[in-house]
Structure formats: structure tokens, C-alpha cells
Amino acid sequence: MGLKTFIAKRIVYMVILIWLAVTVNFMIFVLMPGSPLESYIGRLSGRMDPARIQLLKEHFGLDKPLHERYIIYITNLITWNFGDSYFSGSVSVAMADKMSRTLELMGLATTITITLGVLIGVIAAHTRGGAVDGTLVTGSLLTYSVPIFWLGWIMLYIFSIQLHWFPLGGMYPTSWAVPGNWPSNIFEYLAGRLYHLALPTATLVLFSVGGWILLARACMLESMTEDYVVTARAKGLGERTVLLKHVLKNASLPIITSVALSFAGMIGGAIITETVFNYEGMGRWTWRAIGQTDLPVLAAVFYVTTLTVIIANFLADLIYGVVDPRIRYG
């Protein structure tokens, strides 16, 4: 089986997997107890005349038989038409806005986390059994085990309330809300955004970097005793070359999978962190939709998240063949 055949089969497999995932999501929403329309009406006034209720059912497609709703649901997902939220208008428009904000936060945090985690994991593996390794492993377990909301509160208490170095939350300086005070150049805009991204990004990095350190360390230790490593050292290669070009490269397959899934998971946002820091991204939007039983929003979020995870797995499989020459598709 050549590369083209492999890609064709994986694409077919991806299509089937996506169809199964969205079908399961549809059934979950259908089988959920209670009526989203009743919840919507209750949040408005608690009372509504039957004619108005019928109009709402027709607008949201709740008056149609189950099989018709399923066909409309699949068609809308394929055409990227997510319909209207029960509370906030077009889902597609709102998602584009929330997703851009989340990608700023999660993209920055994920890139820093993976880079630091892998590099520190290499150092921990190189100094295995020593004081540095013990300190790094203990610190990783400590930061990875504490609740992230507690870590966020500590960051806010120290750096916002006590030291007044950073704001308590939000995405922009409050002065920008005044008409005419929006930044006039890109540098002023970036400075203001980074100022508000600092604490939530640091919280996500502190919480997640420990897992990457432990993963990289475990992968490195598994490969450091292989014969090719001994041969590389016997040839007189420097320790840095041995660690990065030989050990890490051959131990990177589990890391590649985790990297792909991490970047795919960015789309869903960070529900707890965004809530703690009052950051209006995908995570907080999803959390609000759960509380409001806003099914169109939840269906769109689950679909996009499923899509990105499946595509990320596919890309990881392709990268395997580039990183590890032992992998063949034929």
C-alpha cells in the first residue's frame, strides 16, 4: 500500500468516523431530558402564547419529525450552517469571534507549554537519578496535580490583588471601551492584548507543562539505552547531538501524537481558565451554553472539536513517516 492509497483509505475512514461522531451527538441532544424550548421560554418570561411557541418551534426546526431533523442537522454541519443560538443570534458569527480569541490564548499557551515541556523533559532524562531530575519530576507532579481554578486564583491574588502587576481579568484594557481610545497602531494593540493574556497564559502553562515534562522524560529514557545511542556516543558525537538528533527524534512518536491532539484541543478553549479570568473565548461560551441548554451552540462546538481531533490524528500519522524512516506506508 503506497502513500496515496494510505491517504485515500484514511480519508474514507475519517468521513465515516465524523459521520458516526455527529450521529452520536445528535442522539445525545435528542435524548437529553427536558425541552430546550421550555428552558428558553422560562428564561424570557415564563409565559408565552401558543402561536408564538409554534413560531419558535418552526424557526428552530423542532416541529419536524426526527428523521427530517437528522437530515437537516447533517446538512447544516456539512455546509457550516450552524443556525441560530437560542440566546445570541448566529452561531457561525459568534463562533468565529470566540474562536479567534481562544486561538490567541490557547495557541500562545500551547506553544510555550510544549516547547518548555519537551526541552525540560530532555534535561530531566539526561540527569536521571540526580537532584535536578528529582526536582523537575517533583515540581511537574505538583503543578500537574493541583486544580487549575485554584492555580488561577493564586495567580490573581498574588499578581493582581497584592502586586497590582496585571489586571483581574478581561481581554482588553478598560480604557479601550471609551470611544476614540482604541489603539492606533499594531504595537499598542499587541501590548494591551499581551498584558491581559499574561496571567491566563501563565496559568495554563504552569498547569500543563508538568505533563509534557513527564512524557518527554519517559520517551527519552526508553530510547537512551538503545544500541544506536551507544554507537553514536562511541563515534565521538557531542551529548547535545546525541540527545536531540538521535534520542529525541526516535522517541518523538508519542510526543507527536500528543502535540497534534493538543493543538486540535485548542479549538474547544479552556473552560475553567477562561471563566476564572473572565475571558470571552470558546471555553466560556461553551460553559454558558451548557448552563442555558443552548443546543445549537453545543452541537456546533462538539462538531468542530470532533473535526479538528480527527484531522489532527490523520496529520500525526503522516508526520510519523517523515520523522521515523522505519515507518512505511507500503
How much of the chain exceeds pLDDT 70, in percent?
Answer: 85
Boundaries of every domain in the chain: 3-89, 91-323
How much of the chain exceeds pLDDT 90, in percent?
Answer: 3
Count of CB atoms within 10 A of residue 32's CB? Answer: 12
Summarised one tens digit per residue, pLDDT across range 260-311 is 878 777 776 678 888 888 888 888 888 888 887 788 888 888 888 888 888 8
Q: What are phi and psi of 167, to 5 degrees?
A: -70, 160
175's CB contacts (< 8 A; 6+ apart) are 181
Helices (H), the chain: 3-31, 36-44, 50-60, 66-78, 91-126, 131-145, 148-155, 186-223, 227-234, 239-241, 248-250, 253-265, 271-276, 282-292, 295-323
> What mean pLDDT, rounded, does the chain reach?
80
Give me the CATH code for the 91-323 domain, please.
1.10.3720.10
Q: How confident is the model at residue 112 (pLDDT cuts 50, 70, 90)?
A: very high
Mean pLDDT, rounded, for 166-187: 77
Mean pLDDT, rounded, for 234-247: 73
CA–CA separation, 99 and 138 (whole Å): 35
